[in-house]
Copies of this chain bind each other. A is one copy, B any other.
């Protein structure tokens, strides 16, 4: 699918995004836990984008794409497909900017995410899981409504916006040895890598993926952009395949990609809850799992992790059940 902003972004785009949207974001806290540091045998800080508007980092990219469109004044609506968080972000950013929003949503998305998109004021269009179905449904919506596409990840404006979280993290914690984010379509890792390599050149940038959705891992290792179809991972935000621009940044700016099992993801979520007292979504737990598996740096190093979101279906998660007391 053609993106509107189809050139690989640079650090200048991230810096411009920070200027443009910085004052409209929540300055999310950077948190840590002595218990978790001990467990991981290194110092770990967490940039808590689960506390961002819409409960995920996605608001950064969406706002960076939509705000200039609204200010230019020649667009009345935006559209996207999303497993959830990007949809909410587009809906919120569109509302803030006075535009309509249409969001194509796969039926297997986490229910709270769907509810969030709707509450944020978007019109929902359901589709089957998998990228082809999503893209087909979105193309039809755009044809029908004339809405402007805001792609969830394969868009320079979106990637640049996502990078602003790392600028904030490095402003507070400049001496990181490693920064890690999960990889879905690659918007977050791309923006993160641009920011980190410019602001902290000796800091290694590592992406984390579920073994069950390891397209970026295989792409990184083989040098060929590969995809997955309907991957069976609990990390619902990481079921998409890596985008074109994102793969280019993965090759040029990222030091490594590591993978973790489904069991490790659930344990990571549980340990974040126990030690950090934070609800993080399974997609975010992928990076925590990589940490706990010893795959991020070495003992004694300083690690930064972007907690990508906190929208969890409490009724579906293996250890978060919907029961109430008798």
Contact = CB atoms under 8 A, between A and B. Distances in A.
A314 B271 CA distance: 10
A278 B29 CA distance: 13
A73 interface: no
Interface residues of A, number: 33
Interface stretch (A2-10, A152-160, A219-227, A317-325): A317-325
Interface in A151-194: none
Contacts of A263: 324-325
Contact of A321 (B267, B274, B321): B321
A274 B31 contact: no
Contact of A320 (B55, B280, B319): B319
Contacts of A53: 34
Interface in A294-326: 310, 312, 314, 318-325
A119 B69 CA distance: 55
Interface string A29-52: 101001000000000000010110
A319 B51 CA distance: 22
A236 interface: no
Interface string A194-211: 000000000000000000
Interface in A234-263: 234, 262-263
A51 B277 CA distance: 7
User: Which of A279, A310, A318, A325 counts the most chain B CB atoms within 10 A?
Assistant: A325
Contacts of A270: 314, 324
A286 interface: no
A94 interface: no
A314 B274 CA distance: 8
Contacts of A90: none
A207 to B, nearest CB: 22
Contact of A319 (B55, B277, B314): B314
Nearest to A265: B325
Nearest to A116: B35
User: Which of A263, A267, A274, A277 counts the most chain B CB atoms within 10 A?
Assistant: A277
A266 B325 contact: yes
A129 interface: no
Nearest to A270: B314
Given A319-B314, A323-B319, A277 B278 contact: yes
Given A112-B274, A279-B279, A314-B319, 6 more contacts: A48-B277, A274-B314, A277-B278, A277-B310, A278-B278, A319-B322
12 contacts: A29-B29, A34-B53, A234-B325, A266-B325, A267-B324, A274-B279, A277-B280, A318-B324, A319-B322, A320-B320, A320-B321, A321-B321
